[in-house]
Structure 1
Amino acid sequence: MARDSLVDALVTRIRDDILTLRYPPGSMLPAERELAAGYGVTRTTLKHALVRLAQAGLVETRHGVGTAVLDYRRRGGPELLPLLLSHSLNDPAGPDVGWLDEIFEVRADIGTRITALAAQRRTAADLQKLHDQHAAVGAAPDADSAQIAESELHRMLAEASGNRVYVLMVNSLMHTYLEVRYLFQAPFVDPVAAGHRLTPLLAAVSAGDATAARAAAARYLEQTRRLMLGEI
């Protein structure tokens, strides 16, 4: 546990140094021995941190060459969002909500589109899964469980849309979201109320009304956005 916590802290330190351009895109990080000494950690801890940063698309390590800083705007994917969001919200100069606004903008665009398609294409089996999952949200024993159940419902809506690319996109975005879900639990503190907010959306999908489903999704996503941002 202590080692994992140290790796987490080191990932945060190096991430911040990259995003504040101490190590700009295209530059090489110092040699591992020097870098580890500079951060006061072992080379083993440093290697674990560099692997995490490489998975996020911030750096690339090549044997015999070293570790290069990548341009995340060209090389990064959704898996980088937790690092960018955490950095922006914990900026010593004050929170920068720019990333947060853009994430919610994409959430609304994709969410309304998927829900409309689900209303058009859902099968009887899809509807049964959605209604069972809707019930699971309202019956959740706590906020975290309700939040995870609601995330699974959105994944099911993507499956009901019949578009496999949307399924993969939602899987990726949900993985990112769940890593930092503690920031956004306000809508789920009362699981019963969380379930009630979903009811109009599920009713429109059940009715097969794409227009109503899109409108209901837009209302739901806006309601939860306001609750989430109010908590932050």
Structure 2
Amino acid sequence: MEALPRETVVDVLEKRLREDILAGRHPAGSYLPPERELADGFGVNRTTLKHAFGRLVHAGLLETRHGVGTRVRDFLRLGGADLLPMLVRHSPDWIGEIFEVRGSIGALIAERAATRATPGQIAELGPLMAAVAEADGGDAVQLADAEVHRALARATGNRVYVLLTNTLFNAYLPVRAALVDPFLDARAAHDRLAPVVEAVTARDPEAARVAAAAYLSATERIMLEGLARSRERRDGDR
């Protein structure tokens, strides 16, 4: 068992400020109140506040200008996909938009992989699929399944597809435990993904695109159902 992480005052303050920004209580383009006023309001010292600000600047939510103040960035206009895990943590409603992109990008990746994969990349898929079937437990199956998709992205020969695949998987992290349902049965997870890999191996781009679309649609439905049940349990515990 692992010890639970202990939140520091900076952690709590960062979370509070982040939620205020993402909820629109500090609109994009607006300046935060002066540091002394904020520190007094939160009951912290200015050093603690500066540490929290530093994290939010690094996250892309704030920008500071010496002698001017700290302003909320328009993250929807200026931010990148690296913000997705934080946005999902703030509101799981983002998951639906992530799945929409996952569906279109995933089908395109399979199609491109079927056209461009090298013999070595084709050979890599067999052991990765075997790892899905042999994985023990939903979490392990989910991770093994992800490695197949990373391999398919690499097989496109386009590194941007690889980075997009990584970004989408990273976006799931805050709610990954609630999305494990398609991977609870290792054999079923393997069989669900197998048509995609078979089409790529056969170098049939149309079949790969169709198979990937079917796989992504089926797993999306199962995952969203699991996420809904997780929300219902959480709401029932309140």
TM over 0.5: yes
Identity score, percent: 53
The correspondence for 1:75, drawn from 69, 75, 78, is 78
Gaps of 5+ in 1: 90-96
Instruction: Read off the aligned partner of 1:13 and give its amino acid letter.
Output: R
CA distance 1:154–1:199, change in 2 (3 Å): same
Greater Cα offset, 17-26 or 113-122: 17-26
Cα distance in 1 for residues equivalent to 2:99 and 2:55 = 25
User: Secondary structure of the equivalent of 1:84?
Assistant: helix
Cα offset, 1:40, TM superposition: 3.9
The correspondence for 1:106, drawn from 101, 105, 115, is 101
Instruction: Read off the aligned partner of 1:223 and give its amino acid letter.
Output: A
User: Residues 115 and 205 of structure 2 are in contact (CA less than 8 Å); yes or no, is this contact kept in structure 1?
Assistant: yes
CA-to-partner distance for each residue in 1:112-168, whole Å, 9 max, x for gaps?
001100011111211122221111122222222222222222111111011122122
CA-to-partner distance for each residue in 1:35-87, whole Å, 9 max, x for gaps?
34433445555444333333332212344443210111111111211222232
Gaps of 5+ in 2: 228-238
The correspondence for 2:28, drawn from 25, 28, 39, is 25
The correspondence for 1:210, drawn from 189, 201, 205, is 205
Instruction: Read off the aligned partner of 2:149 and give its amino acid letter.
Output: H
Cα distance in 1 for residues equivalent to 2:156 and 2:166 = 14
How many residue pairs were aligned? 223
User: Residues 119 and 209 of structure 1 are in contact (CA less than 8 Å); yes or no, is this contact kept in structure 2?
Assistant: yes
User: Residues 117 and 210 of structure 1 are in contact (CA less than 8 Å); yes or no, is this contact kept in structure 2?
Assistant: yes
- Name the TM-score, length of structure 2 as normaliser: 0.83
Larger radius of gyration: 2
Q: Indicate the RMSD between aligned Cα atoms, in angstroms.
A: 2.2
